[in-house]
C-alpha cells in the first residue's frame, strides 16, 4: 500500500528551525492544468523543512500561507486530494510576500474492477497492484499503488496520477507449514493446476502484460481480471537453527523476483528447527529466506535461491547464521590537507528488493576518511547508496575493482572502497522561455554525456527551479554533461534515462572542470 | 483462543462402523458449499480435505477415539463438530454466512472523508481485523462478520468518533446497506504542554488516543527541542496522552523507535470551549518484564502482547515462553496489553487476566498461568432423547459462538478440551435443524460451570420434542 503521505510528511523526524523571524507569506491559486479553471476546496500541502502543512483553497481556488520564515518551501498535494501535481519549489527571503504562485494540478484517475478465479468466482483478500516503472538512484524500481479485493472480489485503486499502469494480481500469501511429507512422497510428484499471480490481461509474467493508460480524471471501471491457472508444485526445505533457545520466532518466506522488487509468495512462522513445506508455487525464480530477530535487534539469517519449473523442489537446508559485517574505507580527494568533510556522509547497503529500507546494521554516518564497518548486512545481492554532503561528489565506489555504483555485489566479495571528490564543479542559472521570461516549475535535467548504462546516481540529476526560474546543481564529478529544460513534463520523466536519451540532442552540451562554478541561462522547451 | 463459531449442524443418521464423511451446506439456503476446508482437529494431525461440488467430504481413515471436526470457508463462520467414533454416516454441517455492513462516510457537504476508518464492535469490543477504510467515493464495506450483534463506529482524525445510532444483528448472511455517517468537524480545542525528555536532539512523538476507542489516535504531534508540544485541533472528549521517542520517522504504519526508548502517558479531558494548557508529562524508560509459563500444562508457547492504545510503534510484541527458562521483553510501554498465548496444545488454556495493565508500572517478572481444559460427558434421558440431533454448547456471554456435539445411539455425548468457565447447553431436535435459520432460545438452555482439568457428568432430560 502506498504510504500515507500526510502522515509521512507530517511526522518525518525533522525539527523546525528556531529563532527566525516568521513574517513571510506565499499566496496564489490552484488551477486545473487542462482547463485553467481554479480548483476550490482542495487541499494543498506546503512542505516546511520536509514537514507537510495542509492548506485548503477558497471558493475562488486561491490559497495563502503566512507567518513563514525565510527558507526553501515546496508546494505539493496530498494524494487523497484527488489531484496530482508536479509541485512548485520556492525560495522565500526574510519578510518576503510571494504572490501569484499558481499551482497546476490534474485530476487523479481510478482503476476498478473485479478479480475472479478460473471458475469465474470472486476472489476475496487478494492483492491488486498498479505498477509504474520508476527509477530510484539510477536503478529501475517501480512505484506501486495497491489494494485488497473485498468479499465480492471487487477492487478500486483511486488517486492515481494519469499515466500507463501495469496491473498485477496475487492470491493471498500461501502458508509455509511444518512438513508432513517426505522426499519421495507420491503426492508431491505431479504439478497441480492452481490459480496463480496474473498480470493484466492474462499473463504470468510482466513481459506478457499490457499497460492500462489512464487520462486525467478517468474512472476506469470494469477492469475485471481472471486469475490464470498454472501448474504448481510443492517446495520443501529445513530450518536449521544452531542457537535453538526457542525465544524468538523464525520467519520463513518464499519471495519471487518481480520488476521493481520482490513479492512475498508464501510465509510462515516457526519456533524451532523444522522441516517445512509450501505447496502451490507456480514456475518462476524464487528465494527461500529465513530470519530470526532477537528482542535486541540482532538477526540470524539464511537464504537459498531456487527455480520452479514442473517438478517439486527440495531447497537446501536454511542454516541460520549471524549477519556478516562488511568493511570499507572512505577516501577524500581534491580537498584540503588533511582532507576533511564539511558534513557527514551517509553510506548504506541494502538488498536489491528493499531499496527504500535503511537498516541500522547496514548504515554508517561517516565524519572523516578512513576505515569503517557496516556491522550486519544481508548475505544477498546488495546495492550501495552514498549520500555525500553538499559540495562533495562520489568519485568512485568499488569492491575488488568492480564499480558498485553501477553493479550489485555481495558482502563476501571484499572490502568496499569509496572515494569522494571535494573538487566538484557547480552549475547554476535561470531557465527562461523563448521570450526570456523565467519559467518557474520547469524541469531541468543534467545528465552525463553520453549517459552511461547502467546509471550511477550522479549520472542523471534533476531540479525544479524556484519562483524566479533559478536552479543549482552540485554533487557531480567534473566531466562532460548535457543540460535540458522542459516547461511541461510528467513526474516519471525526471528520473528516466530513456526520457533523457530521447531528448538529449536538444540539450546544451557543456564540460565542467574541477571546482568550476558555471552560470548559465537555458531555454525551456 | 478458540475461533468464533456459528455453525448449525445436523446429524442425519448414525451408522456404527461407517467412515467419517458428510456434507457442508449453507445454513439459510441449504445449498451445498464446495471448497470448504474440513479439518480433523482431534485426534491431532494434518488431515484436511476439501468438499466437492455437492459439498461432500470424506476422511480416508475413521478415527478410533472421540473426534472433532473444524470447517471453514471464505464468507462463512467457522463450524466445530464433536462426536464419538463410528457414529457418523452422513454428518450435515451447516455454516452460517457472515454478514456485511456498508455505507458512506461524508462531511456535511456530502464530500467523502478520505481519512476515515469504520470499525465494527462486537460486545463493545472493536474488531480491528474487520475494520474498513473508505474509498474515494467515501464508501466503506465491513464484511466477513461472524454472527452477533454489532455496533459500528466511524473514526477520523480531528473529529469526534461517531457511533451508528442502532445495533445490527447478524445471524446468517445479513447485509445492512446505507449505514451512513456524516462527520462534522465541531469545536476544536488546543492541547499544549511540555514533555520532560532527556534527549532533546531526537524527536518525541505524541498521540492523543480516545479513551473510548484507544486504538484510534485523534491527533499526532512532535515535541519541539525544548519539549513543548501542541495539538491544534482536538475535539472535546476524554483522551490518553501518549508519548514515545526517540522517533526515527513515521511511514504511515506506525513510528520507528530508536534505541533506549522512553514513554509517557497521562489522562487528558478536553471540555468544549476550554483549551488545555501547561500539561507537564514525565517520560520513563520502557519496562523489562520476564515471562515464564506456569500451571500444570504446556511446556512452551508463543506469547503475544498487543497494546490496547495506538502508540504508533511496538504495539505488538512476541516472545517464545517456556516453563523452565524465563524470556524477557524489553522496552515495554506503560500500556494495557491484550494477552494471547498460542501453541499450548488443544487441551490447555491461558488462565490469567486477558489484559496486562502496565499503565501504573510493570512487574519484573510475570507468570503466565495455564490450566487444563474441561470435559463434559452427558446422557440424554427421557422420551425425546432419540429425537435430539445435536447438543449445542455456548460460552456464557458470547451470543455467537457455539460448539456442537452429536449424541450416539444410546443418547450419550462427550465434549473434551473445553475452555473452563460457564456454559449454556441446549438440545436441538433434528427436525428443527433441518429447517433453516434458527436462533437459540436462552430460556430453554441449561447452565453449567466446567472446571479446569475436571470431568463434569451431566444428565439432560429431554421431553417429547415437537
C-alpha to C-alpha distance for A45 and A65, rounded to whole angstroms: 10
A285 and A257 in one domain?
yes
Do both A135 and A282 map to the same domain? yes
Q: What total of structural domains would you count in chain B?
A: 4
Distance in angstroms (rounded) separating the CA atoms of residues B216 and A166: 35
Q: Which of A11, A82, A297 sits opposite B222 (nearest CB)?
A: A11
Q: Is there a domain that residue B341 lies in?
A: yes
Asked if the Cβ–Cβ distance from A247 to B319 is below 8 Å, we say yes
Which of B40, B174, B252, B343 is the best residue to mutate to test the A interface, defined by the most A CB atoms within 10 Å of its own CB?
B252
pLDDT band per the 50, 70, 90 thresholds, residue B18: low
Of the three residues B248, B266, B284, the one that is the final residue of a domain is B284
Q: Cell numbers 544477498 label which residue? A: A380
Chain-chain contact of B320 with A247 (C-beta, under 8 angstroms) = yes
Tally Cβ neighbours within 10 Å of residue A415: 12
Contact A10 B220 (CB under 8 A): yes
Kindly state whether residues A100 and A170 are assigned to the same domain: no
Verify whether the Cβ–Cβ distance A12 to B319 is below 8 Å: no
Q: How far apart are the CA of A1 and the nearest CA of chain B, in angstroms?
A: 10
Identify the residue among B31, B47, B72, B74 best suited for mutation to test binding to A, counting A beta carbons within 10 A and taking the highest.
Answer: B74
pLDDT bucket at A79, cuts 50 / 70 / 90: confident
Q: Which residues pair with B152 in a beta bridge?
A: B120
Residue from A115, A121, A247 to probe the interface with B (highest B Cβ count within 10 Å): A247
| pLDDT tens-place string over residues B161-175 | 888 888 999 888 899
Tell me, what CATH number does B311's domain have?
Answer: 2.60.40
Owning domain of residue A511: 426-523
| Mean pLDDT of the region A96-116 | 93
Which residues in chain A are contacts of B343 at CB distance < 8 A?
Answer: 271
Does residue B364 carry a pLDDT above 90?
yes
Q: Which residues of A touch B249 (CB under 8 A)?
A: 11-13
A268 and A316 share a domain?
Answer: yes
The whole-number pLDDT of residue A298 equals: 76
CA distance B98 to A151: 10
Nearest-CA distance B301 → chain A (Å)? 9
What mean pLDDT do residues A307-325 have? 91
Q: How far apart are the C-alpha atoms of A271 and B303, rounded to whole Å? A: 12
> What are the backbone angles phi and psi of residue B253, rounded to the nearest 5°?
-115, 10
CB-CB neighbors (< 8 A) of B319 in chain A: 247-248, 295
Q: Which residues of A touch B111 (CB under 8 A)?
A: 41
Q: Is B466 within the bounds of a domain?
A: no
Residue at B1 is within a domain: no
> Distance, in angstroms, between B388 CA and closest chain A CA?
36
Chain-chain contact of B203 with A150 (C-beta, under 8 angstroms): no
**Distance (Å) from the alpha carbon of A262 to chain B's nearest alpha carbon:** 19
Same domain? For A68 and A103 the reply is yes
B110-114, B223-227, B429-433 — which is least confidently predicted?
B429-433
Best to test chain B binding among A126, A151, A270 (most B CBs inside 10 Å): A151
Give the closest-approach CA distance of A81 to chain B in angstroms. Answer: 8
Same-domain pairing of A173 and A315: yes
Q: Which residues of A touch B327 (CB under 8 A)?
A: 247
Q: How many CB atoms lie within 10 A of CB B121?
A: 19
- pLDDT over threshold 50, residue A373: yes
How distant is the Cα of A244 from the closest Cα of chain B, in angstroms? Answer: 11
B337 plus B415 within the same structural domain: no
Of A324-328, B41-45, B308-312, minimum mean pLDDT range: B41-45
Alpha-carbon gap, residue A11 to A5, rounded angstroms = 10
The mean pLDDT value of chain A amounts to 84
Same-domain pairing of A232 and A115: yes
| Residue A329: predicted pLDDT | 96
- All three cell numbers of A509, joined, read 552540451
pTM score of the predicted model = 0.80
Residues B16 and B90 in one domain: yes
Name residues whose C-beta falls within 8 Å of residue A207's C-beta, 6 or more positions apart in sequence: none
Average pLDDT rounded to a whole number, residues A249-271:
81
Confidence at B138, pLDDT banded by 50, 70, 90: very high
Over residues A164-173, mean pLDDT: 89
> In this structure, is residue B390 part of a structural domain?
yes
CA distance to partner chain A, nearest, from residue B252 (Å):
5
Mean pLDDT of A113-141: 85
Is the per-residue pLDDT at B363 higher than 90? Answer: yes
Average pLDDT, chain B: 82
Q: Which of B44, B75, B114 is most worth mutating to test chain A (most A CB atoms within 10 A of its CB)?
A: B114
Q: Taking the CA atoms of B27, B30, B35 and B39 in sequence, report the sign of the dihedral they define.
A: positive
DSSP state string for B286-340:
PEEEEEEEESSS-SEEEEEEEESS--SS--EEEEEEESSS-EEEEEE-S-EEEEE
**In chain A, what residues touch B302 (CB-CB under 8 Å)?**
249, 271
Residue B428 has pLDDT above 90, yes or no: no
Cis amide leading into A454 (omega within 30): yes
Pairing of β A163-170 and β B132-133: unpaired
Query: Does the pLDDT of residue B181 top 80, yes or no?
Result: yes
pLDDT for position A6: 36
Q: Give the end of a domain, one of A321, A337, A367.
A: A321
Domain identity same for A117 and A258: yes
Share of chain B above pLDDT 90, in %: 32
Give the CATH number for residue A37: 2.60.40.1120
pLDDT band at A155 (very low <50, low <70, confident <90, very high): very high
Q: Which of B234, B262, B284 is the last residue of a domain?
A: B284
| Pair B357, B434 in one domain | no
Q: Residues A413, A434: one domain?
A: no
The answer on B68 and B25 residing in a single domain is yes
Whether residue B431 lies inside any domain: the answer is yes
* Residues of chain B contacting A, Cβ within 8 Å: 46, 74-75, 100, 111, 114-115, 135-136, 141, 143-144, 202-203, 205, 220, 222, 224-225, 247-253, 255, 259, 300, 302, 318-320, 322, 325, 327-330, 343
The edge-to-edge listing of strands for the beta sheet with B455-461 is B412-418, B374-381, B455-461
**B127 pLDDT tier (thresholds 50, 70, 90):** confident
Q: Are B383 and B346 found together in one domain?
A: no
Among A421, A437, A455, the domain boundary falls at: A421
How close A436 comes to chain B (CA, Å)?
Answer: 42
pLDDT band at A510 (very low <50, low <70, confident <90, very high): very high
User: Cell triple for residue A71?
Assistant: 527558507
CB contact under 8 A, A11 and B205: yes
Q: Is the pLDDT of residue A398 over 90?
A: yes
Let me know if residue B231 belongs to a domain.
Answer: yes
Q: How far is A222 from chain B (nearest CA, A)?
A: 16
B310 and B340 within one domain:
yes
In this prediction, residue B382 carries a pLDDT of 85
- Same-domain pairing of A128 and A257: yes
Chain B residues in contact with A295 by the CB 8 A cut-off are 319, 328-330
A·B CB contacts under 8 A: 87
Asked if residue B261 and residue B238 are part of one domain, the reply reads yes
Structural domain ending residue among the three candidates B344, B372, B400: B372
Residue, of A149 and B344, whose pLDDT is higher:
A149
Q: CA-nearest residue of chain B to A246?
A: B320
* CATH number of the domain within which A365 lies: 2.60.40
Q: A335 or B263: which carries more pLDDT confidence?
A: B263
**To the nearest whole percent, how much of chain A has pLDDT over 90?**
38
What is the number of structural domains in chain A?
Answer: 4
CB contact under 8 A, A3 and B251: yes
Residues A206 and A291 in one domain: yes
pLDDT digits (tens, 9 = 90+) for A39-54: 998 888 888 766 677 8
Q: How confident is the model at residue B322 (pLDDT cuts 50, 70, 90)?
A: confident
Three-state secondary-structure class, residue B193: strand
pLDDT band at A78 (very low <50, low <70, confident <90, very high): confident
Contact A352, A359 (CB under 8 A): no
| Domain that includes residue B327, residue range | 286-372
Contacts of B328 in chain A (CB under 8 A): 295
**What's the pLDDT score for residue A14?**
34
List the CATH number of the domain containing B23: 2.60.40.1120
Q: Are residues B430 and B444 in the same domain?
A: yes
Tell me whether residues A246 and B249 touch, CB distance under 8 A: no
Contacts of B137 (CB under 8 A, 6+ apart): B104, B112
Query: How far lies A58's CA from each of A62, A105, B108, B163, B188, in Å?
Result: 5, 16, 17, 31, 21
Rounded to the nearest 10°, the torsion over CA B15, B20, B26, B32 is -90
Chain A residues with CB-CB distance to B330 below 8 A: 295-296
- Interface mutation vs chain B, best among A2, A5, A7, A172, most B CBs within 10 Å: A7
B178 in the same domain as B121:
yes
In B, which residues are within 8 Å of A16 by CB distance?
A: 224
Q: Are residues A114 and A247 in the same domain?
A: yes
Residue in chain B closest to A43 (alpha carbons) equals B114
| Mean pLDDT, range A154-171, rounded to an integer | 91
Contact B365, B329 (CB under 8 A): no
Amino acid at each position: 500500500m502506498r504510504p500515507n503521505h500526510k502522515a509521512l510528511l507530517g511526522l518525518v523526524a525533522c525539527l523546525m528551525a528556531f529563532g527566525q523571524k516568521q513574517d513571510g507569506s506565499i499566496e496564489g491559486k490552484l488551477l486545473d492544468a487542462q482547463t485553467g479553471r481554479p480548483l476550490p476546496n482542495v487541499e494543498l500541502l506546503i512542505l516546511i523543512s520536509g514537514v507537510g502543512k495542509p492548506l485548503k483553497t477558497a471558493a475562488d481556488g486561491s490559497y495563502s500561507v503566512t507567518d513563514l520564515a525565510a527558507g526553501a518551501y515546496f508546494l505539493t498535494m496530498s494524494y487523497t486530494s484527488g489531484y496530482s501535481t508536479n509541485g512548485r519549489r520556492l525560495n522565500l527571503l526574510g519578510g518576503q510576500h510571494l504572490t501569484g504562485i499558481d499551482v497546476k494540478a490534474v485530476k487523479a484517475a481510478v482503476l476498478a474492477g473485479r478479480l475472479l478465479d478460473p471458475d469465474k468466482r470472486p476472489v476475496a483478500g487478494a492483492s491488486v497492484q498498479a505498477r509504474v516503472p520508476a527509477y530510484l538512484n539510477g536503478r529501475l524500481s517501480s512505484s506501486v499503488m495497491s489494494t485488497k479485493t473485498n468479499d465480492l472480489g471487487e477492487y478500486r485503486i483511486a488517486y492515481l496520477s494519469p499515466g500507463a499502469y501495469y496491473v498485477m494480481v496475487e492470491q493471498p500469501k500461501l502458508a509455509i507449514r511444518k512438513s508432513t511429507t517426505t522426499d519421495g512422497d507420491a503426492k508431491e510428484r505431479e504439478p497441480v493446476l492452481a490459480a496463480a499471480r496474473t498480470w493484466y490481461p492474462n499473463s504470468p509474467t510482466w513481459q506478457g502484460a499490457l499497460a492500462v493508460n489512464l487520462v486525467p480524471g478517468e474512472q476506469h471501471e470494469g477492469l475485471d481480471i481472471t486469475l490464470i491457472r498454472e501448474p504448481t508444485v510443492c517446495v520443501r526445505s529445513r530450518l536449521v537453527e544452531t542457537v535453538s533457545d526457542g525465544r524468538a520466532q523464525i520467519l520463513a518466506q518464499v519471495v519471487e523476483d518481480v520488476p521493481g522488487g520482490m513479492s512475498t509468495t508464501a510465509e510462515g512462522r516457526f519456533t524451532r528447527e523444522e522441516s517445512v513445506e509450501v505447496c502451490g508455487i507456480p514456475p518462476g525464480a524464487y528465494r527461500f529466506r529465513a530470519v530470526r530477530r532477537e528482542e535486541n535487534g540482532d538477526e540470524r539469517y539464511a537464504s537459498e535461491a531456487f527455480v520452479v519449473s514442473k517438478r517439486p523442489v527440495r531447497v537446501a537446508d536454511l542454516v541460520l547464521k549471524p549477519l556478516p559485517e562488511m568493511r570499507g574505507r572512505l577516501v577524500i580527494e581534491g580537498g584540503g590537507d588533511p582532507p576533511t568533510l564539511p558534513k557527514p556522509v551517509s553510506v548504506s547497503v541494502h538488498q536489491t528488493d528493499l531499496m527504500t529500507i535503511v537498516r541500522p546494521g547496514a548504515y554508517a554516518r561517516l565524519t572523516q576518511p578512513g576505515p569503517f564497518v557496516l556491522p550486519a548486512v544481508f548475505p544477498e545481492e546488495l546495492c550501495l547508496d552514498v549520500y555525500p554532503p553538499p559540495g562533495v561528489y562520489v568519485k568512485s565506489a568499488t569492491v575488488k575493482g568492480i564499480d558498485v555504483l553501477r553493479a550489485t555485489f555481495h558482502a563476501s566479495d571484499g572490502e568496499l572502497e569509496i572515494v569522494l571528490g571535494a573538487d566538484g564543479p557547480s552549475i547554476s542559472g535561470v531557465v527562461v522561455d523563448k521570450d526570456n521570461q523565467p519559467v518557474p516549475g520547469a524541469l531541468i535535467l543534467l545528465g552525463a554525456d553520453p549517459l552511461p548504462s547502467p546509471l550511477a546516481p550522479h549520472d542523471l540529476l534533476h531540479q525544479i527551479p524556484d519562483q524566479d526560474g533559478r536552479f543549482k546543481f552540485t554533487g557531480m564529478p567534473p566531466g562532460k554533461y548535457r543540460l535540458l529544460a522542459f516547461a511541461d513534463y510528467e513526474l516519471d520523466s525526471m528520473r528516466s534515462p530513456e526520457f533523457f536519451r530521447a531528448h538529449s540532442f536538444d540539450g546544451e552540451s557543456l564540460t565542467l572542470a574541477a571546482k568550476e562554478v558555471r552560470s548559465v541561462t537555458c531555454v525551456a522547451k | 483462543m478458540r475461533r468464533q463459531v456459528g455453525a448449525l449442524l445436523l446429524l442425519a443418521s448414525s451408522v456404527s462402523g461407517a467412515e467419517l464423511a458428510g456434507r457442508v451446506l449453507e445454513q439459510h439456503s441449504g445449498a451445498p458449499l464446495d471448497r470448504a476446508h474440513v479439518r480433523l482437529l482431534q485426534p491431532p494431525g494434518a488431515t484436511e480435505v476439501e468438499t466437492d461440488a455437492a459439498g461432500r467430504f470424506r476422511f480416508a481413515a475413521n478415527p478410533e477415539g472421540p473426534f472433532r471436526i473444524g470447517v471453514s470457508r471464505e464468507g462463512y463462520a467457522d463450524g466445530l463438530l464433536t462426536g464419538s467414533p463410528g457414529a457418523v454416516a452422513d454428518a450435515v454441517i451447516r455454516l452460517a454466512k457472515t454478514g456485511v455492513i456498508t455505507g458512506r462516510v461524508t462531511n456535511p457537504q456530502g464530500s467523502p472523508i478520505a481519512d476515515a476508518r469504520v470499525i465494527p464492535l462486537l460486545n463493545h469490543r472493536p474488531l480491528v481485523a474487520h475494520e474498513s477504510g473508505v474509498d474515494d467515493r467515501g464508501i466503506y464495506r465491513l464484511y466477513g462478520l461472524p454472527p452477533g450483534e454489532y455496533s459500528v463506529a466511524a473514526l477520523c482524525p480531528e473529529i469526534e468518533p461517531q457511533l451508528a445510532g442502532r445495533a445490527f444483528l447478524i445471524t446468517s448472511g445479513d447485509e445492512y446497506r446505507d449505514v451512513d455517517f456524516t462527520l462534522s468537524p465541531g469545536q476544536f480545542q488546543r492541547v499544549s504542554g511540555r514533555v520532560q525528555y532527556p534527549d532533546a536532539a531526537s524527536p518525541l512523538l505524541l498521540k492523543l488516543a480516545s479513551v473510548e476507542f484507544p486504538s484510534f489516535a485523534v491527533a499526532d504531534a512532535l515535541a519541539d527541542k525544548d519539549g513543548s508540544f501542541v495539538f491544534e485541533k482536538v475535539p472535546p472528549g476524554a483522551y490518553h496522552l501518549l508519548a514515545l521517542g526517540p522517533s526515527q520517522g513515521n511511514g504511515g504504519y506506525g513510528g520507528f523507535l530508536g534505541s533506549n526508548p522512553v514513554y509517557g502517558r497521562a489522562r487528558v479531558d478536553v471540555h468544549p470551549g476550554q483549551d488545555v494548557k501547561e500539561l507537564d508529562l514525565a517520560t520513563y524508560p520502557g519496562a523489562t518484564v520476564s515471562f515464564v509459563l506456569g500451571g500444570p500444562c504446556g511446556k512452551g508457547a508463543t506469547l503475544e502482547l498487543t497494546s490496547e492504545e495506538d502508540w504508533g510503534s511496538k504495539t505488538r510484541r512476541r516472545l517464545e515462553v517456556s516453563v523452565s527458562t524465563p524470556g524477557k521483553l524489553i522496552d515495554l510501554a506503560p500500556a494495557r496489553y491484550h494477552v494471547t498465548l498460542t501453541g499450548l496444545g488443544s487441551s490447555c488454556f491461558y488462565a490469567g487476566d486477558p489484559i496486562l495493565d502496565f499503565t501504573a508500572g510493570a512487574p519484573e517478572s510475570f507468570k503466565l498461568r495455564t490450566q487444563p481444559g474441561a470435559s463434559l460427558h452427558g446422557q440424554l434421558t427421557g422420551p425425546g432423547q432419540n429425537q435430539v440431533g445435536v447438543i449445542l454448547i455456548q460460552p456464557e456471554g458470547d451470543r455467537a459462538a457455539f460448539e456442537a456435539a452429536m449424541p450416539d445411539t444410546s443418547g450419550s455425548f462427550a465434549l473434551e478440551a473445553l475452555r473452563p468457565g460457564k456454559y449454556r447447553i441446549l438440545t436441538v431436535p433434528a427436525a428443527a435443524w433441518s429447517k433453516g435459520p434458527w436462533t437459540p432460545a436462552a430460556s430453554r438452555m441449561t447452565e453449567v460451570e466446567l472446571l479446569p482439568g475436571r470431568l463434569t457428568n451431566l444428565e439432560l432430560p429431554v421431553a417429547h420434542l415437537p
